[in-house]
Amino acid sequence: MTPPPEPDSTAATLHLDVESVPARHHTWPGVVAKCGAALLVVAALFLLFHYLLEPYMPEVEAFVTRLGVWGPVLFVGIFLLGTSIFVPESLFAIAAGAIFGLWMGLVWVVIAGTIAALVMFVIGRHFLRDRVESILKQHPKVRAVDAAASSAGFRLMVLLRLSPLNYTLLCYLLAVSRARFRPYLLACLGMFPGNFSTIYIGFAAKHAADLTKRVKAADGHLPAGDSLVHEITIFVGLAAAIVASIVVARIAMREIRRATAMAVESAAEPVS
When pLDDT is averaged across residues 185-211 and rounded to a whole number, the result is 86
The pTM of this model reads 0.74
Question: Residues for the chain: how many in total?
Answer: 272
Nearest CA to 247 among 16, 18, 19, 27?
27
Supply the pLDDT for residue 260. 55
Q: What is the pLDDT of residues 25-83, one digit of tens each?
A: 445 666 667 667 767 776 777 777 667 766 677 777 788 888 888 989 999 999 999 99
User: What average pLDDT does the chain have?
Assistant: 75
What's the pLDDT score for residue 17? 44
Instruction: Give the lowest-confidence range in 2-11, 15-24, 153-162.
Output: 2-11
SS3 letters across 135-188: HHCCCHHHHCHHHHHHHHCHHHHHHHHHCCCCHHHHHHHHHCCCCCHHHHHHHH
Q: How confident is the model at residue 217 (pLDDT cuts 50, 70, 90)?
A: confident
Element (H, E) at 73: helix 70-84
Report the number of secondary-structure helices (H) and strands (E) in the chain: 14, 0
Find all residues with CB under 8 Å of 139, minimum gap 6, and list them: none
How far apart (Å, rounded) are the C-alpha atoms in residues 119 and 51?
37
User: In one letter, which amino acid is 185?
Assistant: L
Q: In percent, how much of the chain has pLDDT > 70? A: 70
| Per-residue pLDDT tens over the stretch 33-46 | 766 776 777 677 77
Backbone dihedral region for residue 22 (phi beyond 0: left; psi -120 to 50: alpha; all else: beta): beta
pLDDT over 70 at 177, yes or no? yes
Show the beta-strand stretches assigned E in the chain: none
Give Cβ neighbours of residue 47 (< 8 Å, ≥ 6 apart): none
Question: How high is the pLDDT of residue 15?
Answer: 41
Residue 208 CA from chain centroid, whole number: 23
> Residue 245, exposed/middle/buried by CB under 10 A (0-12, 13-18, 19+)?
buried
Q: For position 248, what pLDDT does the model report?
A: 81
Q: How confident is the model at residue 230 (pLDDT cuts 50, 70, 90)?
A: confident
For residues 240 and 196, what is the distance between their CA atoms, to the nearest angstrom?
Answer: 11
Question: Which residues have CB under 8 Å from 165's CB, separation 6+?
Answer: 17, 20, 21
Give residue-wise pLDDT tens across range 138-149.
655 555 555 555
CB proximity list for 268: less than 8 A, separation 6 or greater? none
pLDDT of residue 72: 92
